[in-house]
Amino acid sequence: MNLAFCSDVGRPLPTAEAGAEGERVLGGSLIGCLSTARPPQRWPVQAVAAPLLGHASDTVQELWTTGSECQSGEFEGIAYRRSRGILFGVLEVDEPAFSASGRESSLQGATEEAYHRIFRLMTAQGLPHLWRVWNYLSDINRETNGLERYRQFNVGRHDAFVAFGRAATGDVPAACTIGLRQGPLSIAFIAARTAALPIENPRQVSAYHYPAEYGPRSPTFSRAVLVTLASQETLFLSGTASIVGYQTVHPGDIAEQSREALANVEAVVAEANRQSRRTIFALPRLSYRVYVRHAADFPAVRKVLSKRLDQATEILFAQADICRQDLLVEIEAMASNTLEDG
């Protein structure tokens, strides 16, 4: 059992008409300007309407593949594909279907229900471990019902974990939560039979231990998770920004925020290498997705990253909103290393 990541930046990917190669696709994402009609796919695809920065094409496709054939399914609105002990799923939930009542917002209700469905699917499939989650929602920093929407999302997510008897601290997945201009609550996830090792950042307070000033429920995610399979180790880094301890640093300075975010990525990678003892992950060999709040800041972000990475490093830049209003850039990443004795 293995898991591989690829994107169509400079290379062809399997299409819906592909034969055996397409059968090994778990799922993926389509990122960019999504105004044009999209061809149908045999695998679940998360549509991320975030304009690309510095790319010649309007959209980029990313895929997760395995070494064996996949089986497709649908469960309570979740489109999923499974290959042995790994599952990739995508669901979209319309907030208007969850009318706000009392202190609970529509987003909070939609989030809680979405995670309930994910956990029910994982139980039905016998795959108890949630490795990685990608969350996208509109107007992430707007305040409604007396609370910022990102904090409403955190309440719904946290309460779903608790309702299913799952840990809300420590053993939690890697994740990002990003704001788009419009669209439904969209969640993609990877779940598996094998447990992942949570990795924290010694430079930061764990997100699930943030103080109450950051909302009535803390964010439920680890800074990264390390997955060890028979023949590979895979590192998933959560969305990482210019935060030291639990506070934003360098407000208003895009270059310094980019340096600080990359310093946090480096600290998480170092911690993963310390705990792995089998392979070594290096910053230039990771695949990155970088969200920039203001498109005009893209050249400054790219300049900072280019000094630490190299031309062969795979980086996708997109314009999107970050979970705190004073954060200007967020970096997520992943990498897989082959185990020599695998």
**Max Cα–Cα distance, the chain, nearest Å:** 57
- How far separated are the first and last CA of the chain, in Å rounded? 11
**What residues are paired with 318 via a beta bridge?**
52, 291
- Measure the CA–CA gap between 221 and 199, rounded to whole angstroms: 10
Residue 77 — φ and ψ, nearest 5°?
Answer: 85, 0
Q: What is the pLDDT of residue 161?
A: 98
Write down the domain spans for the chain.
4-338
- Measure the CA–CA gap between 89 and 78, rounded to whole angstroms: 6
**What residues are paired with 4 via a beta bridge?**
65
CA atoms within a 13 Å half-sphere pointing along the CA-CB vector of 128? 6
CATH top-level class for 4-338?
alpha beta
Q: What is the pLDDT of residue 17?
A: 47
Q: What is the pLDDT of residue 270?
A: 97
Q: What is the pLDDT of residue 5?
A: 81
- Measure the CA–CA gap between 33 and 47, rounded to whole angstroms: 10
Question: Is 224 in contact with 268 (CB distance < 8 Å)?
Answer: yes
And the tokens for 258? 């980019």
Q: Give the gyration radius of the chain's Cα atoms.
A: 19
pLDDT in tens, the chain (342 residues): 577 888 765 455 555 445 556 788 999 999 999 876 566 678 999 999 999 999 988 999 999 999 889 999 999 999 999 999 999 999 999 998 887 655 578 999 999 999 999 999 999 999 999 999 999 999 999 999 899 999 999 999 999 999 999 999 999 999 999 999 999 999 999 999 999 999 999 999 999 999 999 999 999 999 999 999 888 999 999 999 999 999 999 999 999 999 999 999 999 999 999 999 788 999 999 999 999 999 999 999 999 999 999 989 999 999 999 999 999 999 999 999 988 764
**Nearest one of 46, 95, 6, 45 to 287, comparing CA atoms:** 6
Strand segments, DSSP code E, in the chain are 4-7, 25-32, 45-48, 59-65, 71-75, 78-83, 86-93, 129-138, 143-144, 147-148, 174-180, 185-192, 197-199, 224-228, 232-240, 243-244, 247-248, 287-292, 314-319, 329-338
332 part of the active site: no
**What residues are paired with 80 via a beta bridge?**
73, 89
- Measure the CA–CA gap between 105 and 251, rounded to whole angstroms: 29
Considering the candidates 260, 271, 330, 332, report the single residue annotated as catalytic.
330
Question: Is 175 in contact with 221 (CB distance < 8 Å)?
Answer: yes
DSSP one-letter string for 30-87: EEE---S-----SS-EEEE---BSS-SSSEEEEEEE-SS--EEEEETTEEEEEETTEE
**Nearest one of 144, 153, 214, 149 to 187, comparing CA atoms:** 153
- Measure the CA–CA gap between 18 and 11, rounded to whole angstroms: 15
